Amino acid sequence: MSSTEAPTTPTDARPMRADAIRNRQKILVAAREAFAQGGESTALEEIARRAGVGIGTLYRHFPTRHELVQELYREEVDELCRRAGDFDGDDAWDALNGWLEQFIPFVATKQVLAQELVSAPDHGRPLMVDCRASLEAAGEPLLSRAQEAGVVRSDVTIDQVVQIVAGIAKAPAADAEQLVALVHIALDGLRFNAPR
């Protein structure tokens, strides 16, 4: 759902009231923070408390834990995809690097959410496949521009680049600064430096 559309309630097609939209957003922000800190063991009551809403309000917006996790996962991916456009005016190499650095905080949250999705009855596979496709579609223009500028090898795909960066971002016991340094080292291996 785009940020300009008013969400609808699950039971009808009427747009939500402004206060309901605010509560929904507060729940999502609180859930993002709570999952990042407490992992998959985070209770819905804790999320409601952090959001400053009652548990009934949380359940009106997200009748099941799985629905909350799905929406949060989708929002995280949508935000990362939107950020790809932030680098349009940058140097081709800097643009690709800048966007890929955004994966580090994203993967930290995504890991917890992905565990939740995989443990759900439908395994969350359709959502995860769609989100992966969205990420690759967002990053492809940045990679193509860097390849056309002659600064990135022509034989790599956005899927490979995303796998490299996501794998590094999952490294245990590394702080964000270390992860950024590791990503930069890995990305230097993508630089075009000889015919292939």
Tens-digit pLDDT profile for residues 117-166: 666 666 557 887 888 899 999 999 999 999 999 999 999 999 999 889 88
Share of the chain above pLDDT 90, in %: 40
43: left (phi over 0), alpha (psi -120 to 50) or beta: beta
Mean pLDDT on 40-67:
91
Q: Are 100 and 165 in contact (CB under 8 A)?
A: yes
The Cα-based distances of 166 to 99, 129, 190, 192 in angstroms read 12, 15, 15, 22
Query: Nearest-CA neighbor of 26 among 2, 67, 54, 63?
Result: 54
- Specify the pTM: 0.76
Q: What 3-state class would DSSP assign to 7?
A: coil
pLDDT tens per residue across span 70-94? 898 899 899 999 999 999 888 999 9
**Residue 173 to residue 159: CA distance in whole angstroms:** 25
Q: Is the pLDDT of residue 42 over 70?
A: yes
Which residues make beta-bridge pairs with 15?
8
Domains for the chain: give ranges and CATH numbers.
Answer: 8-63 (1.10.10.60), 65-196 (1.10.357.10)
- Structural contact between residues 63 and 10, judged by C-beta atoms closer than 8 angstroms: yes
Virtual torsion, Cα 171, 173, 178, 184, nearest 10 deg: 0
Is the pLDDT at 5 greater than 50? The verdict is no
Q: How far apart are CA 9 and CA 26, in angstroms?
A: 16
SS3 120: coil
> What's residue 195's pLDDT?
46
